[in-house]
Chains A and B, each alone.
Chain A
Amino acid sequence: MSTVVLLACTGLGLGALYFLVASGLSLIFGLMDVLNFAHGALLSVGAYAAWWAATDGGTGFWLAVVFGTVVGTAASVLLELALIRPLYVRPRDQILATVGVGLALPALLMGVWGSDARPFPQPAALSGTVGLLGATVPVNRFVLMAAALAVLVALRLFLARTRYGLIVRAGVEDRAMVTALGIDVRRAFTLVFAIGGAAASLGGALAGLYFGSVNPSQGTGLLIFAFVVVVMGGMGSVTGAAVASVGVGLVQQFANYYTAAGLGDLSVVVLLAVLLLVKPRGLTGRLA
């Protein structure tokens, strides 16, 4: 029983991490048809910025997380304005540009700080464990779950209650028609990149807590599973991404433990294939 609880909590923590990456990825693809292969690199930027603030900067953990999120958000906005925006009329070049940034940023991090994992300072309050149903679960699992839940609630409120949220939901359906109502949809593009970058870099900062260290290829590794989550959840659906994240995280953890290590990653891909065969449009039935 205690093993099941621990695996479930670890799976949910990992799912939370996937959601932080996938939510932005899903919104960006749903609204703009941009496959942002640089999204994992944004996570790494957030992770390294937070790590730098917590070690060299000497700030506390929470301030480091905020700093990492701000830097990642800024990087994401810069990416949209400088590279994605001029290429909207050339979608193929746009994909290549994001692939390039997705390779270059981790290489840059590696060049500056080396390829070895750097230990991420754990605050005392979050490095302990709690007893839950007989299992000893690290606190950081719950921190990730809480962060993902907060981001999910905030995103849903943004989409449901604000004018820009309305523009994003409409844009996911029919971007051209949004402009034909007199709305400059490019502002929504930049905003969605900012939101996606913020969520991913928050995920990066918290990934340091979850894995105990940061390394340059962390983001790219997580990105693959985030893409699986986005396809499963339905492009452009934040709630779909949340459900799929939980599913992927849990399946991966349980399969890795009860079968051979590494089979968990494979089982996720199998899960995706089965889902696409049964429900070609993803969980939410939307192919935006």
Chain B
Amino acid sequence: MSLLTVRDLRVVIDGLHILHGVELDVAATGVTALLGRNGAGKTTTVRAVMGLVPRTGTVTFDGADITGLPTHQVVRRGIGYAPEDRGVFAQLSVAENLRLAERDPDPAYDLVFELFPELKQRHRQAAGTLSGGQQQMVAIARTLLNGNRLVIADEPTKGLAPKIVTEVADVLARAAESVPVLLVEQNLALVRRIAGRCAVLADGRTAHQGDARALLADEDAARRLLGVGSHQPETTAPEGSSR
């Protein structure tokens, strides 16, 4: 039984058809990876799920149709969202960024500061002066403060130093033990490490859904769907944004 089900999701922005019918099933446990080449529509898909872009089709979350809901109500159903650009408020302090995300009466600051002790030290620092990795920590921390039923992380390791990538991956893997995660990711080594199931988008459609490791082990399928040989994900992965 899927936690989040997307059927025939279509998005048109300024007359351009970005998504032509995306199908996506996010498992009720573990990490589900959303893969695809740059421009395949991964970020648009999650933005459409969040209600941040106009969309048609059906999005079902935990049995309820959430397609028509405005963004804040989608979030209040229990979806934490860490966007591609991190969505950190640069002028606000770290503490204010976290306080803004509080929805539960008893936010899980213990968990957040255990995972990211740095954020406690930098409580008063303006978030705009943090490093990219630290900003990503703020973005992920905001999703873990509340008792969410799903966390959506859009390319959380993009542009980060390899050491920080490992740190972020560890946190996501740990978070995924208690809350299901939908992970948009280009770093296939990371996907192989923490993802269970995966969906692959190509040209605004779903090209494949199945087990993540099985796909990455199948060199032909990986090359055809992702444009990379799975044994060398870093060197041939195309650069740039994936909007």
B89, A176: Cβ atoms under 8 Å? Answer: no
Q: What is the interface size of chain B, counting residues whose CB is below 8 A from a CB of the partner?
A: 21
Tell me if B56 counts as interface (CB < 8 A to partner A): no
A185 to B75, CA, bound (A): 13
Cβ-defined partner of A170 (8 Å) among B75, B81, B89: B89
- Complex interface residues of chain A between 146 and 199 (CB less than 8 A to chain B): 163, 166-167, 169-170, 173-174, 176-185
The smallest C-beta distance from A181 to any residue of chain B, in angstroms, reads 5
Bound CA–CA A185/B70 (angstroms): 11
B91 & A181 in contact (Cβ 8 Å cutoff) = no
B72 contacts A182, C-beta separation under 8 Å? yes
Q: Provide the B29-60 mask, 1 if CB < 8 A to any CB of A, else 0.
A: 00000000000000000000010100000000
Q: A173-B90, A177-B87 are in contact. Are A182 and B52 (CB under 8 A)?
A: no
Q: A166-B96, A166-B99, A167-B100 are in contact. Are A179 and B90 (CB under 8 A)?
A: no
Q: Are B100 and A180 in contact (CB under 8 A)?
A: no
Residues in B whose Cβ lies below 8 Å from that of A163: 99
How does the 8 Å CB contact mask read for B86-109 relative to A, with 1 for contact and 0 for none?
Answer: 010111100010011101000000
- Check if B71 is an interface residue, CB within 8 A of chain A: yes
Looking at B70, B72, B92, the one whose CB has the most chain A CB atoms below 10 A away is B72
Residues of B within 8 A of A176 (CB): 52, 71
The chain A residue sitting closest to B145, CB to CB, is A181
Are A179's CB and B96's CB within 8 A? no
The smallest C-beta distance from A168 to any residue of chain B, in angstroms, reads: 11
CB of A183 within 8 A of CB of B72, answer yes
Most buried by A among B87, B90, B96: B87
With CB as the reference atom, state the residue of chain A lying closest to B78.
Answer: A182
A239 to chain B, nearest CB (A): 13
A177 touches B75 (CB 8 A): no
Does the CB pair A180–B91 fall under 8 Å? no
Asked if B72 and A185 make an inter-chain contact with CB atoms under 8 angstroms apart, the answer reads yes
Cβ contacts A to B, 18 pairs, < 8 Å: A166-B99, A169-B91, A170-B96, A170-B100, A173-B92, A174-B89, A177-B87, A179-B70, A179-B71, A180-B71, A180-B75, A180-B83, A181-B101, A181-B142, A182-B72, A182-B75, A182-B101, A184-B70
